[in-house]
Amino acid sequence: MKAIARLTLLVCLLAGVCMAAGPSPEKPNPGEELERAGQVSGHYGGNLTIGGRAEPKTLNPVIATDTVSREVIGRMMADLIDINRASQQTEPALAKSWKTSPDGRMFTLQLRKGIRFSDGHPFDADDVVFSFAVYMDENVDSPQRDLLIIDGKPLTVTKVDQYTVRFILPRPYAAAERLFDGLAMLPKHLLEKSYREGKFVQAWSLNTAASEIAGLGPFRLKQYVPGQRVVLERNPYYWKVDSQNERLPYLDELTFLFVGSEDAQVMRFEAGESSMISRLSSDNYNLLARERDRMRAQLADMGPSLEYNFLVFNQNDLRSKKLDAVAQKQQWFRELKFRQAVSAAIDRDSIVRLVYGTRGAPLWGNVGPGNKQWVNTAIPHPQRSVDAARQLLKSASFSWNQAGQLLDSSGKPVEFSIITSSSNTQRMKMATLIQDDLSHLGMQVHVVPLEFRAVIDRVFQSFDYEAAIMALGGGDADPNPEMNVWTTSGTSHLWHLHETEPASPWEREIDQLMQQQMITLDYGKRKQLYDRVQQLIAEHLPFIFLATPNILAVANPRVGNFHPAVLDPYTLWNADELYIRTPIESAAAR
Amino acid sequence: MRAKTASLIVALVGLHLTLLLAGFVAPCDPGAQDRDLPYAPPTRLHFVDASSWHLRPFVYRWSAGPDGYFENKRQSFPVHFLTGGPAYKLLGIFEAKWHLFGVDEPARIALLGTDGFGRDEFSRVLSGGQISVAAGIAATLLALLAGSIFGIVAGYYGRLTDESLMGATELFLSLPWLYFLLGVRAFLPLHLSPARTFLLLTCVIGLIGWARPARLVRGIVLSARSRNYVLAARSFGGSDVYLMWRHILPEVLGLLLTQAALLVPRYIAAEVTLSFFGLGVNEPVASWGNMLSTLQQYSVLVSYAWLLAPAAAMVVTSVIYSILADTLHSRLEFRST
Amino acid sequence: MSYLGRRLIRAAFLLVGVSILCFLFTEMAPGSFFDEMRLNPQISPETISSLRSRYGLDQSLVVRYGRWLRSALHADFGYSIAYNAPVAPLLWSRAKNTLLLATTGMLLTWLVSIPLGVWAAARSGRMLDKSVRVASSLLVSIPEVVIAVALLAIVVRWRVLPVGGMTSMDDEGLSQWARLQEIASRMLLPTIILTLGESAIIVRHLRASVLEVLDTPFVQAARGLGIGRMRLLFRHVLPVAASPAISLLGFSLAGLLSGSLLVEVICGWPGLGPLILDATLSRDFYLVIGGIMLSALFMVGGNLVADIMLLACDPRIRTGALDAR
C-alpha cells in the first residue's frame, strides 16, 4: 500500500517537474564575473513549496515593511554586500570586492561585470546610484532610509566608472559594509519612469505584470494568485555558479503558499502540500519530532536565536500624563534592588522547559549564547533564589505583613500588572509563570493580555502600563542595530522613552560606550566596549531578561542543501542552493 | 414523563451544586502549578496491586521518562475521602480545608490530567465552570430580555417603529465590534477584578447579542399580532402593554427558550474571542473560555486529549440546558392550551 | 410610500450609519498600522510620522471621513495602506471566492436542516430526536475554531482530502473538469465545517417551532381527516412554523460575505476572511471598512428577502406590515 502511494507520489512529482520546468539557466559566458559557490552541489529541477503565514503586501523592496513581503522580495532581489547567514560575516554579492579608506569613511565598491537583471538587461553603476537615490529620497519614506542617515547626514554615492561606485560616510562607522545587506539593487530601466513621476510608492504592487518586475536575485516573479500563492521561477541570468560551474539556482520554481497561521503551516506540511517551514514554535517542532515514525522530516534545531524576551518596568516620565496610579508604583520600579529581587525570583529554567519545551535558552543579558561573536561570557548566571530576592527586598526596606504580602516602606502592598500580547502564546505563558514566581515574594501580579497593537500603543505612546513582557532583537548579530535600544536618546529605549539626559552615571556610560563602539573599526576593541555595555545592563537591569527560543525549522527529506541559520530569513537565505533530491538520493541521505 | 423530569432535576441540581461547591469537590487549588508535571495524563485509579485487591482505590505518581510519563510503582497512595487539603473559600465566603477526595503528599490526583503548567485540569474545569456558566446565563438573559423587548415592540407597532428598530439591529449586526472592544479595553483600568470581568463579559455580550433574537422575535410577533384573538382583545380595548404581555409574549416563549439553550454555550465560548482583546478572565483564574483557547493550538489538540475536558463539560451543560428548555416549553404549551 | 421605497431609505440610512460608526470605532481603537515598525529599532519615529501623514492618518476624523466618502463615490472605497492599492478591487477578487464557498455552504445547510428539523420534531423523544439534540449541543458548545482544527487534523492524518487553499499548484495544466474537481475537493472541508455550525442552530429552531405547531388543534384536526404524514408535515405544518426559520434564512443570506470568515482563515480559503482578519489586526482601516460596507449591503438584501418571504408565508402579516394600523 505504502509502496503504491510512494510510486504515485513520484509519478505526480515527475509530472509536476516536467510541466513546471521554467526557463532553463543560461550557460555561463566568459564575459560575466560570476560568484562561485565552492562547496555547493546539487542538480536542476523541481518546485519547492513553502507555506507562509500571510500574504505579501507588495513586491516593492523599497517600501516593504512586513516580514512576509520581505521574505518573498528577498528571493527576487540582491544586494551589493551580503551577510552570510551561516557565518554571520559579510561576503561579496553584486560587489565582487570593496576597499575601505584608512579613516573608515570611504568605501569603493567594484561591481561584477557583465551580469544581468532577470529580464536580461545589464546591471551597472547607474542602477546602484539610482537605487540609493530612491532609498534616500524623503518622499519615498523607505524604512531603510534611516540606516543610511548617520548623525543626521546622508551618505553620498558617486559613480566612478561603469563598474565602480564610491560611498562616503559622514563619519567613520564600524562594520559599515553590513549596511549594504538587504538593500536590493533596483533596475533603473524599469523604475525610473515611475520614480520621476512621483509614483514610486505604487510601483511593483502585487498586480504588476511579471514582465515589469526584474531583480538580481535567484528567482523572478512568475505568477501571483490573490489570496493563495506567489510563484517564482528561476532567474536564468543569476550571478552565482556552483562547484561544477553550473549556474544557480537549482530549483525551477519556488512557491509561497499563504496559509494563515503557524498551525496551518504545520498541517499543510504534514499533508505534503508544502515542503518547508521557516520558523516553528517548539510545540509544533516537538510534535513533529514525536511523530517522526509517521512523518519523515528533516528537523533542524539551530540553537538559541538572537531574540531576547524580557520583562520591562515602566520608568517613563509620567509627569505630563494623568497616570498617578502608575506613577506611585514607579518608586518601586526605579529601585534597583526591587528589579534585582524580581530577576532573582524568576525561574528561567522553568520558562525554557514549559514555554519552549527545552528548546530555548535562559538569558541574563541582552546578548544570548546564539550570538557567539558578541556575547559577553563573563556575565554571571545566578541560580534562581527566592531567599536572595527576599534579602534584597528587605535591604530596600520592603517588609511583609501577616498574610505574607509584600509591603513597601510606606506600608502599601506591592501589586502590579504585566501586559503582554495575547496573540503570543509563549509570552502569555511566561507571564503566568512569572506571576507564580513572584507570588513567592508576596507580590501580587496580574497578567493582562492585550491585543498586539494595544500593547505597542501603551508601551510606546500612552505609557499606561506598569510592566510588560516583550521581545526585541533577532535582526543582525552586530551591536549597531541595538544603538536605539540602549542609548538615552534611542527610539526603542523602552523603559524610559524620550529621555533627554541620562538619568544615572551608568546610562551615561552606556551612551558613551555605544557611540564609541560605533566609530571603532577594530573588532577586538569593539568587543571590549560592547562587553562593558552588556555588563552594565546586566548589573542595572533596565530589562529583566528571560529567555530566547531556539531557531527551529523543518523540511521534507527531499529538500537538499537544507541549512537553516539563526538569522532571518532562517531557511531561505540559501534558496539559490536548495534542490529537490531524487527518492534514491534522499534514501541515501537518511 | 415524571421519571424524566425527575432525572432532569437531578442532573440540573447535580451540575450546579458541583460547580457551586467546586472548592470542595476539587482535590487541588486550581491555580497551583506543578512545574515537574506539565501535560501529565489523567491519574489512573487502581484497585489491584501485585499482592491483592483493594476496596479503596489507590494511585501511583507520574514520573517523567524519555518517552513521556510512566507510573512510578515503588509506592502507592490510597485515595482518601473527605480529607484535608489546600485551603479554599466555600461559596466565596467560608474558609475551608475539607475536600471530597484527595491523596497524601507528595502524590497528586489529577483525574483529568494537567495542563501546560502542571495544574489540575479537573479542579480547573470545576472552578472555571462557576464563572463561565454564570456569565453565560447572565449574558443570555440580558440579550434575550433586550432582544424580546425590541422585537415585540417592533413587530407589534410595525411601520416606522419596525423600520427604525430593525434598522438598528442591522446596524448592530454589521459593525466592526472588534475595534469597539479594543476601544473599550483602552478606557478600562489595566487590571480588572474577576467580579468586574464578569460584569463586563455579560454587558458586552448582551450589547452585541440582542440584535439576532430581536429579529427572530419580531418575525413571530408580526404574524401573531394579527391572529384573531389578538385582534379581538384589541377591539375590546386592551391596552398595548397588556396585549403584548398577555397574548404576544406567550407566542414567542418557545423561541426564546430555544434561543436560550443555544446561546448559553455560545456565550460561554465567546469569552475565547473576548480574552484576545483583554476582556476575558485572566490567569491564574480558570474559565472554560480561557481553557478552551489553548485547544485552538493544533499541537495541543492532537497531543493531549484530556485537555478536551472543558469542551466536554460544556457539551454536558449544553445538553442539560437544552432538555430543560424543551421540558419547560412543553409544560408551558400544555398550560396555555 | 411604497414598501420597497421605505426599505431603500432604510438601507441608505444604514450604510451611512455603519460608515460613520466604523470611523468612530476605528478612532477609538488604540494603535495604528505603522506600530509594528516601532518595534524595529532601525526605523526612526520621524519616518513613521511622515508615513502616517502620507496616508492621511494624521488628519482629523471629519477630514478622513470626507475623503473616504469621495473615494467611495468613485467606487474605490478608500486606499489600503498595506497593499498600496484601492480597496474595491482587492475586496472583489476575494469576495468571489467567499461567495462561492458561503453559497454552497448555505445551500447544503438548508438542504440538511429542513428535513432534519421537521423529522426530529415529528419523532420527538425518539432516538433520532435525541441524537440530533446531542449533536447540535455538541456543535454549539465547542467553538467553531476547535471543531475546524480538529476536523483538519483528522483530514491531515488520514490523508483523505487536500488541506487548504482553493486550487492546486499546477492548475494551469489541468482541464476545466479536473480543475472543478480540484476546487470541489478543497471546498469540501470548509463547507462541511460551515454546514455543521449553522445547521445545529437551524435544526433546533425548526424542531421547536414545528413541535409547537404539531400541538395546535388544526393539525390534530388535519390528522383526523387522514392527510398523509409527509404532506401534513411539509405542506401544512412547515409554512406555519416557518417564521423563525425565515428570519434565520435572512441571517444566512446576510452572512454570505461575513459568516464564513473564521472558517476561511483556518482552512486557508482565499476569500475575504484572511484578508479582513489581517487588515483588522494590522489596522488597515479602509480595507476593513470596505469589507464591512460590502457585508452591510448583503445584510440589507438578506433581511429584505426574509421580510418578503415572511409576507408570502403568512398573508395576515401583509395587512399589518403594509397598512397603517
Superfamily name with CATH number, domain A307-549: Dipeptide-binding Protein; Domain 3 (3.10.105.10)
- CB proximity B183 to A under 8 Å: no
pLDDT tens digits for C14-31? Answer: 999 999 999 998 888 888
* pLDDT at A116 > cutoff 90: yes
- Compute the nearest-CA separation of C23 from chain B (Å): 10
Give the pLDDT score at A271: 86
Among A459-473, B12-26, C242-256, which stretch is predicted with the lowest mean pLDDT?
Answer: C242-256
Report how far residue C180's alpha carbon sits from residue C162's, in angstroms, rounded to the nearest whole number: 14
Report how far residue B239's alpha carbon sits from residue B250's, in angstroms, rounded to the nearest whole number: 17
* pLDDT at A349 > cutoff 80: yes
Name which residue leads in pLDDT, B19 or C6.
Answer: B19
Subunit contact B190:A347, Cβ cutoff 8 A: no
Mean pLDDT of A409-437: 93
Subunit contact B179:C134, Cβ cutoff 8 A: no
Give the pLDDT score at B228: 67
- CB proximity A347 to B under 8 Å: yes
Mean pLDDT of B271-298: 85
- Highest average pLDDT, of A211-220, A288-297, B208-217, C175-184, comes from A211-220
CA angle A271, A273, A278 (to 5 degrees): 100
What's the mean per-residue pLDDT of chain B? 85
Residue type, A203: A
Give the pLDDT score at C78: 87
* pLDDT at A3 > cutoff 60: no
Residue B168, Cβ neighbours under 10 Å: how many?
Answer: 17
pLDDT band at C319 (very low <50, low <70, confident <90, very high): very low
Chains near A, with 3+ CB pairs < 8 A?
B, C
Subunit contact B255:C296, Cβ cutoff 8 A: no
- CB proximity B337 to C under 8 Å: yes
Please name the member of A281, A447, A451 whose beta carbon is closest to the beta carbon of B282: A447
* pLDDT at A460 > cutoff 60: yes
* pLDDT at C197 > cutoff 70: yes
Cβ-Cβ pairs closer than 8 A, A with B, add up to 84
Residue carrying the nine cell digits 539593487: A185
Subunit contact B190:A448, Cβ cutoff 8 A: yes
Please state the domain extents for chain B.
43-109, 125-226+253-336
* pLDDT at A14 > cutoff 80: no
pLDDT band at C324 (very low <50, low <70, confident <90, very high): very low
Give the pLDDT score at A24: 86
CATH of domain C91-309: 1.10.3720.10
pLDDT band at A221 (very low <50, low <70, confident <90, very high): very high
CATH 3.40.190.10 is right for the domain spanning A1-55+226-297+556-590:
yes
Give the pLDDT score at A10: 47
Name the nearest CA neighbour of B281 among B135, B112, B115: B135
Subunit contact B219:C153, Cβ cutoff 8 A: no
- B125-226+253-336 CATH pick, 3.30.1360, 1.20.1300, 1.10.3720, 1.10.287: 1.10.3720
Residues 6+ apart with CB under 8 A from C240: C213, C314
Helix/strand/coil for A412: coil
- CB proximity A423 to B under 8 Å: yes
Name which residue leads in pLDDT, A16 or C289.
Answer: C289
- CB proximity A147 to B under 8 Å: no
Name which residue leads in pLDDT, C70 or B2.
Answer: C70
pLDDT band at C169 (very low <50, low <70, confident <90, very high): low
The ipTM (two decimal places) reads 0.90
Q: How far is CA B15 from CA B9, B12, B21, in A?
A: 10, 5, 10
Mean pLDDT of A335-351: 95
pLDDT tens digits for A18-72? Answer: 444 578 888 888 888 888 887 888 889 889 999 888 889 999 999 888 888 999 9
Instruction: Return the H-helix or E-strand segment holding B250.
Output: helix B249-276
Residue carrying the nine cell digits 551577510: A83
pLDDT band at A73 (very low <50, low <70, confident <90, very high): very high
Subunit contact A454:B185, Cβ cutoff 8 A: yes
* pLDDT at C231 > cutoff 80: no
pLDDT tens digits for B170-190? Answer: 888 888 888 888 888 888 888
Among A329-343, B23-37, C299-313, which stretch is predicted with the lowest mean pLDDT?
Answer: C299-313
pLDDT tens digits for C41-61? Answer: 778 888 888 888 888 888 888
pLDDT band at C171 (very low <50, low <70, confident <90, very high): low
pLDDT band at A192 (very low <50, low <70, confident <90, very high): very high
User: For A449, which residue in chain B has the nearest alpha carbon?
Assistant: B278
User: For B194, which residue in chain A has the nearest alpha carbon?
Assistant: A446
pLDDT tens digits for A245-268? Answer: 899 899 999 999 988 888 889 988
pLDDT band at A468 (very low <50, low <70, confident <90, very high): very high
- CB proximity A431 to B under 8 Å: yes
Subunit contact B226:C317, Cβ cutoff 8 A: yes
What's the mean per-residue pLDDT of chain C? 84
pLDDT tens digits for B96-143? Answer: 888 888 888 888 888 999 999 999 999 999 999 988 899 999 999 999
Best mutation target among A282, A427, A432 (most B Cβ atoms within 10 Å) is A432
Give the pLDDT score at A145: 86
Mean pLDDT of B294-310: 89
pLDDT band at A15 (very low <50, low <70, confident <90, very high): very low
User: For C277, which residue in chain A has the nearest alpha carbon?
Assistant: A260
Residues 6+ apart with CB under 8 A from A534: A365, A366, A367, A375, A376, A379
Name the nearest CA neighbour of B58 among B82, B78, B81, B74: B78
Instruction: Tell me what percent of the residues of chain C surpass a pLDDT of 70.
Output: 94
Q: What are phi and psi of B81, to 5 degrees?
A: -105, 150
Best mutation target among A135, A146, A455 (most C Cβ atoms within 10 Å) is A146
Mean pLDDT of A87-106: 90
* pLDDT at B246 > cutoff 80: no
- Compute the nearest-CA separation of B135 from chain A (Å): 20
Give the pLDDT score at A16: 43
Best mutation target among A356, A439, A450, A457 (most B Cβ atoms within 10 Å) is A450
Please name the member of C18, C211, C321 whose beta carbon is closest to the beta carbon of B158: C321
Q: What are phi and psi of A221, to 5 degrees?
A: -65, 135
- Compute the nearest-CA separation of A134 from chain B (Å): 36
Subunit contact B182:A263, Cβ cutoff 8 A: no
Residues of A in contact with B185 (CB under 8 A): 450-451, 454
Give the pLDDT score at C214: 79
Q: Chain C neighbours among B 153-192 (CB < 8 Å)?
A: 157-159, 162-163, 166-167, 170-171, 173-176, 178-180, 182-184, 186
Give the pLDDT score at A364: 94
* pLDDT at A455 > cutoff 60: yes
Residue type, B249: L
Residue ranges, comma separated, of all CATH 3.90.76.10 domains in chain A are 76-204
- Compute the nearest-CA separation of B235 from chain A (Å): 57
Subunit contact A492:C268, Cβ cutoff 8 A: no
Please name the member of A263, A354, A428 whose beta carbon is closest to the beta carbon of B38: A354
Mean pLDDT of A317-346: 92
Residues of B in contact with C288 (CB under 8 A): 176, 179
CA angle A382, A470, B287 (to 5 degrees): 100
Q: What are phi and psi of C271, to 5 degrees?
A: -105, -155
User: For B303, which residue in chain A has the nearest alpha carbon?
Assistant: A287
Superfamily name with CATH number, domain A76-204: Dipeptide-binding Protein; Domain 1 (3.90.76.10)
Subunit contact A460:C159, Cβ cutoff 8 A: no
Residues of B in contact with C289 (CB under 8 A): 176
Best mutation target among A65, A207, A462 (most C Cβ atoms within 10 Å) is A65
- CB proximity B5 to C under 8 Å: no
Q: How far is CA A182 from CA A43, A71, A569, in A?
A: 27, 11, 11
Please name the member of B117, B278, B294 whose beta carbon is closest to the beta carbon of A450: B278
* Dihedral sign from CA coordinates of A553, A556, A559, A561: positive
- CB proximity A451 to B under 8 Å: yes
The DSSP code for C255 is: T
Residues of A in contact with C275 (CB under 8 A): 55, 227
Give the pLDDT score at C181: 83
* pLDDT at C271 > cutoff 80: yes
- Kindly report each contact of residues C119-127 with a partner whose C-beta sits within 8 Å and lies 24 or more positions away, as own/partner: C120/C203, C120/C207, C121/C206, C121/C207, C121/C208, C121/C210, C121/C211, C121/C214, C122/C210, C122/C214, C122/C229, C122/C233, C124/C207, C124/C211
Residue ranges, comma separated, of all CATH 1.10.3720.10 domains in chain C are 91-309
Give the pLDDT score at A4: 47
- Kindly report each contact of residues A586-589 with a partner whose C-beta sits within 8 Å and lies 24 or more positions away, as own/partner: A586/A557, A586/A558, A589/A557, A589/A560
* pLDDT at A13 > cutoff 50: no
Cβ pair B29, B88 in contact under 8 A = yes
Report how far residue A439's alpha carbon sits from residue A435's, in angstroms, rounded to the nearest whole number: 6
Give the pLDDT score at B335: 52
Name which residue leads in pLDDT, B59 or A15.
Answer: B59
Mean pLDDT of C170-174: 65
Chains near B, with 3+ CB pairs < 8 A?
A, C
* pLDDT at B234 > cutoff 80: no
Mean pLDDT of A387-413: 93
Instruction: Tell me what percent of the residues of chain A surpass a pLDDT of 70.
Output: 96
* pLDDT at B51 > cutoff 70: yes
User: For A432, which residue in chain B has the nearest alpha carbon?
Assistant: B283
Give the pLDDT score at C172: 64
Give the pLDDT score at A590: 64
Distance of CA B63 to the CA centre of its chain: 34
- Compute the nearest-CA separation of A393 from chain C (Å): 32
Give the pLDDT score at B157: 84
Residues of B in contact with C208 (CB under 8 A): 254-255, 257-258, 326, 329
* pLDDT at C215 > cutoff 80: no
